[in-house]
Each structure stands twice: as C-alpha cells, then as structure tokens.
Chains A and B, each alone.
Chain A
Amino acid sequence: MRRRALLPAVLSLLLLAALGLHLFLGRDAPPVTEALTALSRGEAGSYDQSVVLFQRLPRALIAIYAGAMTAAAGCVLQGLVRNPLASPSTLGINSGATLAVIAGVFLLDLGLEAQGFAALVGAVGGFLASLAVTRLAGRNNDPRGLSLILSGALVSMLLVGTTNALMLSDPMRRADFLSWVSGNVNHVYIDRLYAFWWIGVLCLLILGALSRALTLILLGSEKAASAGVNVRPVSTLALAAAVVGAGSAVAICGPIGFIGLVVPHLVRPFAGANVALALPCCLLLGAGISLLADFGAREAFHPYVLHTGLVMDLLGGLAFAMIVKRFYLSPAVRDQA
C-alpha cells in the first residue's frame, strides 16, 4: 500500500525527466544555459532562445496535454464500458472529432473556436454511434464486449473514410490539414492549446471528483448503488467528461492513438484498480510517454521530423495485438469461454 502511494511521485519525476529531455537535449539543441535563460525570462533574446521558447516549449506542452487527456479518457472508458480494449481511438471518439473538425472547416468555414466545439460534438457523436451499432449487433450474448470494439472499429472506418473524402474534395485546404489529420504534435498548434486547455482541466476536475464512485462502479452497478452511488448520473457524467476531454485533445493536435489504450494497462498492475490513484498515475504516465514519443519523432530521422501520431500508431498496433492476445486469445481465457 505504501509503495502504491509513492507511485504518483515516481511518475512525476519521470515526467519531469521526459520534459527535460524534450526541452534541452537532442541534435541541434540550443545550449542549456541559453534555454534556461529563455525559459526564466519568458522572452527570446537570440535565435537559440526563440527555438526553445516558441518551438520546443509549445511542442512539449501540446504533447503533455494530448498524452494526459487521452490516457485519462482511456482509464475511465476501460472501467465504465468494462472492456480492456476501450480507448478514444477504438470507440470512434478520435475519428468522430476528426471528421467534425474537417467537415466544419471544409464545408462551413469554421474559425478556430468553432473547430474546437465541433471536435467535442464529433467526439460525443462518434462514441454514441459506436454504442448504437453495438446495440444493433445485440450485446446481450457477448460477455466479453467484443462487439463494442468491432462496432467502434467499423464506425471509425466510416468516419475516417468520410474525412478522407472531404480532404480529397479540396486540394487547396488539404495541405493545411494533412498533417493535423494524422495526429501531429507541432508548435504551430499552440494557439489551439491556449484556446482549449480549460476544457481538459474541467473534465479532469469532474473525473477526479467522481473517482471514488467510479471505483465502486467497477464492482458492478448494483453493488455500487447499494454503497450509495447514483450509478446512472455518475456514469453518464464521467463518460461525457472522458469523451469531451479526449475530443479536446483531438481539437488541438489531431487524433493521437495508442496512449489511451495502453497507458491504463501499464498503470494498473502498479496503481491497482482504485480510480482515485490510477487516474492521476495515467495522467502523469500518459504525458510522459507522449513527450518521449514526440522526442523520438523529432530526433529519429533528423533533420526530418516524423508525425508523432504516426509513431504512436506504430506502437499502438503492437500494443493492441498484445492486449488482444492476453485478454482474448490466451489459453486460460479461452478455457473460460
């Protein structure tokens, strides 16, 4: 128990280390003294200082936000829909938000703020569409929730396809959004972070306040209700906060997969099932991994910079296969079924 309580501190150190790596190291890194001067003064007196202040720092902040929000959303979603494969990228949330932003820009000429709002609406829409398809498929005789994940995949395919069709329709604008749509941490999106960060903070506050009730819901809705939880309103509010929080991350830097799916699995063996502890740990680890992935994307093929989203998708595919193997294909599980 005492070891578990130390976990957030350990993960905070990890996050700080990742942040230091991201800001101060790598090829073409400005001298550390220059970087520190820029950060402490908050203004750039030289080219090196402006690189730190206007490229590396914004990039780091975006990576932290996107990683933290998707990991937190994945943690809550996996608990509430009782499915180890649930995450913003597997339940139509990311693709819904992406389509909404692209449709808003290409068809309605939405401005920045309106794009953010569209992303939130799209995230909720994509999630509800996945649930609706599951309902159609009949999930009563599906104890392990495979149909929910398959529905999410189908809905995502439809939404991504529609997004691509829209992108193809307008070559002029396509160039502006080509990198955003594949999930790209980039300092040019910092104005989006300034516009939307409060949404994530609000969602996290809501989830934090509900964390004890969410832990009880893991025991089953009747057990939770008998212990004093109003299961329906709590579940609805928590799902909304998770989906909207994940949508706000998409609004900033496009859909980033992997983290929402995998981080909760990494955290759970150490933090346990208690949401009040697992949630902050997911936040910290999600932000840290996101920073490291972005660092890797920036440095791996120097001087070319990879899309962070692509790096994540590569890692995510591997992790997805491992989770499927563990929860669905391992001999012990098959014997149960």
Chain B
Amino acid sequence: MSSLTLSNLTASYGQTPVLMRVSAEFSPGRLTVLAGPNGCGKSTLLKAIMGFLPKMHGDIILDGQPIGQIGRRRLARRIAYLPQESFCPDYMTLGELVELAGYSRYALVGGPSDRDRQLFRKALETVGLADKAHLQVNTLSGGQRQRAWIAMVLAQDTDIILMDEPVNHLDVKYQYAVLGLVRALVRQHGKTVIMVLHDLNLAATFADDIVLMNAGHILATGPVSATITSENIARVFDLDADIFPHDGRLVCLPRLAPSASASA
C-alpha cells in the first residue's frame, strides 16, 4: 500500500493561480473524493500529482520519495489516471485498449506476459465486458465505453488510482454501478482511489474521506460523516443545504433559494 502526501502545493495556469498552498494526505486503502464548485482546482490537483502542470511549487511525496524523481515508466506502475475526457481512435478494439495499459511493464521487444493477460481478462470481467474484447471501443454504448476506460485503468495494476469525474456522462444506473465497482476495488483489493466527483450524494454514498475545495484552497477534509455538514457546504458552495441521514447514509438536499437570487 502506497501513501501519498501533498505539502504546500502551489500551481498556476499562466498568470492564474489554481492551487494555493494545498496540503493533504491520502490514506492508503481508502476512497477519497475531491469536491467543490467548478474551477476550484480539483482536476488540477490530480494533474499536479501526475506531473502534467508546467509551473508548480511544493512537494508531492509518494512513499517517502518526491514524485518528480520517479520516472514516467516507474510512476505508471504505481499510479493510474483516468482523465475527464477520454478519446479512443477509430478501429481500436477493447482488447487492444486494455492491453496498452501494461506498457510500463513491457520490455522494448516482447509483449504482455501470461500474468499480464490474466490481469487484462480479470479487468474486463470486473467491469462486465469480458465478452466484448473483440469489439471496437467506439461502437460500444456510452456506459460500456466508460467501463472500458475503467478496465484499462485497472489493467495498469497500480496501488493508487486517480479518476477525474468517472461517472460524468453516465445515467444514474451506471453512476451507481461504476462507483460501486470502484468501492469494491478499494474494499477487496486495497486500492487507494482519489476521485473528483460533482455530486455530493454520490460522494456521501461511496467515499470514505472527502476533501472540499474552493478557489484553490482546501477548506475542509476528513471522513465523510464528519465533513459533509450544512456548515461546510455553505462555506464551500455558498449554498444552503439540509444534510440528514437516510437508510445509513447521508443525503444532501439543497434548499430552494428565494426567487430573487435564484440566478446568482
């Protein structure tokens, strides 16, 4: 199990600062959700961990080692990343896509080992697409395609998985199916998952920990039950919401604003 720590992370796109002195610790074997209003720096935080930002200060430590010192290939064996938008070229089959995930383990010549192939099969079984490996990814339905990308992330076989809004384009049924699957990975396989999620109810249902961000700062962080409170939601989203337990999980129900400020 790997531990991931950020301290005093500051980053900017050009002149616009997007992360300001962010510090956080992601517990191994837990599902952490990053939430906050649009443009608060959630996705940027994931990109910072992946080393995709040109200008960045502060430390990101993976198991005691600064992440910038770990080469791309070695990092790919520790952390997998699912971007917000995924693009698959035409004619690529699901099997080929999943096989690409093993890139960091392959030698220059020679392809996947038997263990790799077993891993690919298991990844496809986990997302329920084992019988679709021969189909072209772009002919799959939206929900199947998103599960295909998740299978690719699983096939990379890393301890840590970063996901940027993995259920964004899915209908509610697949939202629950995909997130349930991710939570099972955390519970059964001890993966550490850090996930950007917009929907607080989904976060409350599936996450262990939550990090609430606003304007490049972390405003609150901790276990879901203690952190999703009316007070925190008001501070982070500028929104009045009722938070109440229902059937063993928290529900977040925003109050209707007075009509005058409805558009604000």
Contact = CB atoms under 8 A, between A and B. Distances in A.
Contact of B91 (A213, A230, A268): A268
A222 interface: yes
Contacts of B133: 1
A207 to B, nearest CB: 13
B22 to A, nearest CB: 20
A112 interface: no
B103 A227 contact: yes
A38 interface: no
Interface of B: 47, 50-52, 71-73, 75-77, 79-81, 83, 86-93, 95-97, 100-101, 103-104, 106, 108-109, 133-134, 156
Contacts of B81: 222-223, 226
A229 B246 CA distance: 46
B211 to A, nearest CB: 21
A332 B204 CA distance: 41
A216 B72 contact: no
Given A1-B93, A1-B95, A274-B92, A228 B100 contact: no
Contacts, number: 79
A271 B134 CA distance: 13
A226 B79 contact: yes
B76 A227 contact: yes
Contact of A212 (B51, B79, B103): B103
B86 A223 contact: yes
A130 to B, nearest CB: 23
A235 interface: no
A315 B138 CA distance: 31
Contacts of B104: 227-228
Interface of A: 1, 79, 209, 212-213, 215-216, 218-220, 222-223, 225-230, 268-269, 271-274
Contact of A228 (B76, B93, B134): B76
B93 A220 contact: no
Given A1-B93, A216-B103, A222-B47, 14 more contacts: A1-B95, A213-B103, A219-B89, A219-B100, A220-B83, A222-B50, A222-B81, A223-B83, A225-B50, A226-B80, A227-B101, A228-B104, A272-B93, A273-B92
A51 B77 CA distance: 59
A11 B239 CA distance: 64
A336 to B, nearest CB: 14
A211 B44 CA distance: 30
Binding site secondary structure of chain A: helix
B90 A227 contact: no
A262 to B, nearest CB: 16
Contacts of A223: 81, 83, 86-87
30 contacts: A209-B109, A212-B100, A212-B103, A212-B106, A213-B103, A215-B96, A218-B89, A218-B92, A219-B87, A220-B86, A222-B47, A222-B81, A223-B83, A223-B87, A225-B50, A225-B52, A225-B72, A227-B103, A228-B103, A228-B104, A230-B72, A268-B90, A271-B91, A272-B91, A272-B92, A272-B96, A273-B89, A273-B92, A273-B96, A274-B96
B91 A219 contact: no
Nearest to A218: B89
Contacts of A228: 72-73, 75-77, 103-104
B86 A269 contact: no
Contacts of A272: 91-93, 96
Contacts of A271: 91
